[in-house]
Amino acid sequence: MPPLDFSGGRFRVKVGFLEGQRAQHVMPYVPFQRRGLGAGLLLVSMLAANTAFAASIEVSRSQDGPAVVVIQGPLVLDDIEDFRTKIMTLPNAVVALQSDGGSLVAGIRIGTLIRMRNFPTLVPNGSRCASACAIAWLGGTRRFLGERSQVGFHAAYRDDEGRPAETGVGNALLGSYLGQLGLSDTAVVYVTKAAPTTMTWLTAKDASNYGIDVSLLSANETTATTSSPVGQQADQRIGEFVADWLKALSLPDTQALESLTRMYANSVLYYGKPTSREMVLADKRRFFERWPERIYKLRPETLTTSCDAGACSLSGILDWNASSPVRMVQASGVAKFEYVVAIAGTLPRITSETSSVVERQNTGSTKGLKWWVILASFKMGAEGLEASTKVISSAERCGARAVGDLSSNFLGFAPGLQVVVVGAFSDKSAAERARVAVAPCVPGAFIKQGSYLQGAVSGSTLAR
């Protein structure tokens, strides 16, 4: 697993992802001077900061791993654009922070950019990240704390004639940001409870109690791991996840939502907007209610994945078919999807989602749909044709006249299969009676609505 090494008087980054390879980068590291919490911290206002004391933002790139972005010093408003510019072309990066604070707005904006790019954050060994710095650190999709490092929180404040005064506006802005990250109400209270002249230092126990996900280094570690296993192991996990995700999307409403609940992170970059898991699921629920019958099928050759920094980016193309018997409408087509999935924990979690319809076809009213008894379906090919013939013979023993055809010839059926059907029937009850009659000969038969696109099944049968 590729490590980050922040030991000694130099900032040394080791990043590697393939067969134990390592690409080493070294940059100057200014030893962090610990100070008291008095005037030293309060000189750095959480709401604004002088650009003369701007943070240092440096980027170390790697050919075979994520870049490392190091932020040192007080955060000011100008750092927002500086940070945005420097990460603009980075596909993956780890953001290491070391600062006593600065502008609250800068901390929130930088944290938001970190979350939008799905970057992990790290406070290096023996370093401190307090006030606005800690707010930015919370934006990481994974949060690391090095050995003897510290993260500290306190309420937002403004300078009132040289004295720190807590500000309701600042705390409201901070609370909104923390909520978008997926932190609970109790976690928001924890982060903002300390007065401006004090500090709440994050502990492992508090992080667990308040649901703040943190990866801590053990006492004998000198490196911070920045990615989950990659290569074949990561590919296998993400492959299994994609299969489970497609299966979940095609399930009935309640089952689909139960499955998806376990697949999303607390906060998701949902079509470009930071969104809580609850809001994502609410949107899915509305879609499922509108389209209660759904079938999704991946085009395997289009799936691409890239795993590092504890997350996998995946994209591909799928065929979809959705219908609503109540509204008597149906739609099908092709869609492109792009996801980012965090694979660091026990279960993969979606942290970013976007998709778009590439092609829409066969959309319209389902008033002409009929009911069919589906006896079996097989992959296209000689073996599928032979299996279809056997099923047809079995159905004949129960007096049913079955036919085989391509599923793509039916509106409402998943494409890419050979199907064996009995029908069509004008009403559901007639189809159900036919299913019961054929069940002794073909167990597992079920009924489904659909419309034959070629006019009549007998005109284009693969087997009869």
Per-residue model confidence (pLDDT) at position 291: 86
For the chain, the distance separating the N- and C-terminal CA atoms, rounded to the nearest angstrom, is 57
The residue behind tokens 């026990």 is: 346
Per-residue model confidence (pLDDT) at position 310: 61
* 348 and 393 both lie in a single domain: no
Per-residue model confidence (pLDDT) at position 348: 83
Give the Cα separation of 347 and 115 in Å (integer).
Answer: 19
For the ranges 32-36, 38-42, 169-173, 249-253, the one whose mean pLDDT is highest: 249-253
For the domain that residue 33 is a member of, what is the CATH number? 3.90.226.10
For the domain that residue 409 is a member of, what is the CATH number? 3.30.70.1070
DSSP bridge pairs for 273: 270
Structural domain for 397, as ranges: 370-459
* 181 and 110 both lie in a single domain: yes
For the domain that residue 290 is a member of, what is the CATH number? 3.10.450.50
CA neighbor of 337 nearest in space, from 220, 228, 429, 245: 245
- Output 292 or 238, whichever has higher pLDDT: 292
Residue 464 confidence (pLDDT) above 70: no
Asked if omega into 376 is within 30° of 0 (cis), the reply is no
Judge whether 329 lies within some domain. Answer: yes
Domain C-terminal end among 365, 395, 420: 365
Judge whether 334 lies within some domain. Answer: yes
Rg (CA), the chain: 28
Within a 13 Å sphere around the CA of 447, how many CA atoms are in the beta-carbon half? 19
Residue 364 confidence (pLDDT) above 80: no
* 150 and 22 both lie in a single domain: yes
pLDDT, average across residues 364-372: 67
Packing angle of the helix pair 104-116, 168-180 (nearest 10 deg): 10
pLDDT bin (cut points 50, 70, 90) of residue 407 is confident
Cβ distance 90 to 110 under 8 Å? no
Judge whether 464 lies within some domain. Answer: no
pLDDT, average across residues 2-7: 39
Residue 307 confidence (pLDDT) above 50: yes
* 199 and 63 both lie in a single domain: yes
Judge whether 194 lies within some domain. Answer: yes
What's the chain's average pLDDT? 76
Percent of the chain with pLDDT over 70: 75
Percent of the chain with pLDDT over 90: 20
Residue 141 confidence (pLDDT) above 80: yes
Cβ distance 131 to 101 under 8 Å? yes
* 351 and 384 both lie in a single domain: no
| 194-216 pLDDT tens trace | 887 889 999 988 998 998 988 87
pLDDT bin (cut points 50, 70, 90) of residue 362 is low
Packing angle of the helix pair 253-261, 277-290 (nearest 10 deg): 160
| 413-422 pLDDT tens trace | 777 788 999 9
* 245 and 209 both lie in a single domain: no
Give me the count of residues in the chain.
464
Cβ distance 253 to 292 under 8 Å? yes
pLDDT bin (cut points 50, 70, 90) of residue 437 is very high
* 138 and 7 both lie in a single domain: yes
Q: Is the pTM of this model over 0.75?
A: no
Per-residue model confidence (pLDDT) at position 452: 73
Give the Cα separation of 192 and 108 in Å (integer).
Answer: 14
* 253 and 215 both lie in a single domain: no
Cβ distance 447 to 423 under 8 Å? no
| 310-328 pLDDT tens trace | 667 888 999 988 887 776 6
Domain C-terminal end among 208, 225, 242: 225
Give the Cα separation of 325 and 293 in Å (integer).
Answer: 8
Q: In three state form, how does the secondary structure of the chain look? A: CCEEECCCCEEEEEECCCCCCCEEEEEECCCCCCCCCCHHHHCCCCCCCCHHHCCEEEEECCCCCCEEEEEECCECCHHHHHHHHHHCCCCCEEEEEEECCECHHHHHHHHHHHHHCCCCEEECCCCEEECHHHHHHCCCCCEEECCCCEEEECCCEEEECCEEEECHHHHHHHHHHHHHCCCCHHHHHHHHCCCCCCCEECCHHHHHHCCCCCEECCCCCCEEECCCCCCHHHHHHHHHHHHHHHHHHCCCHHHHHHHHHCCEEEEEEECCEEEEHHHHHHHHHHHHHHCCEEEEEECHHHCEEEEECCEEEEEEEEEEEEEECCCCEEEEEEEEEEEEEECCCCCCEEEEEEEEEEEEEEEEECCCCEEEEEEEEEECCHHHHHHHHHHHHHHHCCCCCCEEEEHHHEECCCCCEEEEEEEEECCHHHHHHHHHHHCCCCCCCEEEEEEECCCCHHHCCCEC
Domain C-terminal end among 365, 393, 423: 365
* 20 and 140 both lie in a single domain: yes
pLDDT bin (cut points 50, 70, 90) of residue 239 is confident
* 374 and 361 both lie in a single domain: no
* 142 and 241 both lie in a single domain: no
Phi and psi torsions of 178, nearest 5°: -65, -35
Q: Which residues contact 169 (CB under 8 A, 6 or more apart)?
A: none
pLDDT bin (cut points 50, 70, 90) of residue 165 is low
Q: How many domains does the chain have?
A: 3
pLDDT, average across residues 346-363: 78
Per-residue model confidence (pLDDT) at position 391: 92
| 51-108 pLDDT tens trace | 445 788 988 876 666 788 999 888 999 999 999 999 988 888 889 998 888 888 999 9
* 206 and 167 both lie in a single domain: yes
Cβ distance 269 to 351 under 8 Å? yes
Per-residue model confidence (pLDDT) at position 219: 40
